[in-house]
Amino acid sequence: MKLVFATHNLNKLAEVKAMLPDSIELLSLDDIGCTEEIEENGKTIEENAAIKANYVFEKYNYNCFADDTGLEVESLDGAPGVHSARYAGEQKNDSDNIDKLLKELKDSDKRSARFKTVISLRTDRERIIFNGIVNGVITEKRKGKNGFGYDPVFQPEGMQLTFAELSSEEKNKMSHRARAMEQLIDYLNT
């Protein structure tokens, strides 16, 4: 089965490819000739995932899934949330985003957070949403060199390591994206 993953993010693409069974041929936006940046102007993570999946399905006529992920920090009323990638500005710089987050939490002992991934599947037959959530805390400083985004400052509940201190294999077994992907894969296999 051919399925497009609506992303230009090579880190996400590699992470998702490693999770999928061999029976699914995963194509990226680049593989189908979609070089434009799909505008994510939704008010929620769910809306952004659906916008991307619908765009690819309608413009390129491929069955597609798209994800959107947000880091939701309890003491920041769920911020950065839907704005996670652009938290420190339109340049979408991971290091700048982390700097801003750590600065905002500098004097706070309330550091509870959750990573939330929403996957929107769009095919010629249906539209379905899958959710994956991992609860944890924001650390006081960066730890680890693996991963991307907020991984160096997100410590999952029940662990002493950040996502960036885990190998990609370890992270892929329990991450928010992995949890949403498991649901997608189970659905595709039925």
In order of 39, 54, 82, 135, 179, the CA distances from 74 in angstroms are 27, 31, 14, 11, 21
Which residue's structure tokens are 């600065």?
A: 103
Q: Are 146 and 171 in contact (CB under 8 A)?
A: yes
Mean pLDDT calculated for residue range 48-57 = 96
CA distance 85 to 118: 15
**C-beta separation of 116 from 176 below 8 A:** yes
Among 14-18, 34-38, 75-79, the minimum mean pLDDT is found in 14-18
pLDDT at 190 over 80: no
pLDDT of residue 37: 86
**Which listed residue (30, 68, 109, 151) is catalytic?**
68
User: Does pLDDT of 119 surpass 80?
Assistant: yes
pTM: 0.87
pLDDT of residue 90: 86
Residue 23 has a pLDDT of 84
Q: What is the pLDDT of residues 64-105, one digit of tens each?
A: 999 999 999 999 999 999 999 999 988 889 999 999 999 999
b (16+ CB within 10 A) / e for 103-120: ebbeeeeebebbbbbbbb
Q: What is the pLDDT of residues 138-179, one digit of tens each?
A: 999 999 999 889 999 999 999 999 999 999 889 888 999 889
| Fold entry, domain 2-188 | Maf protein (3.90.950)
Task: Give the sign of the dihedral formed by CA 82, CA 85, CA 89, CA 94.
Answer: positive
At 129, the pLDDT band (50, 70, 90 cuts) reads: very high
Q: What's the pLDDT at 172?
A: 83
CB within 8 Å of 172: residues ≥ 6 apart: 15, 18, 19, 178
Is 68 an active-site residue?
Answer: yes
Sequence spans of domains, the chain: 2-188
pLDDT at position 99 = 97
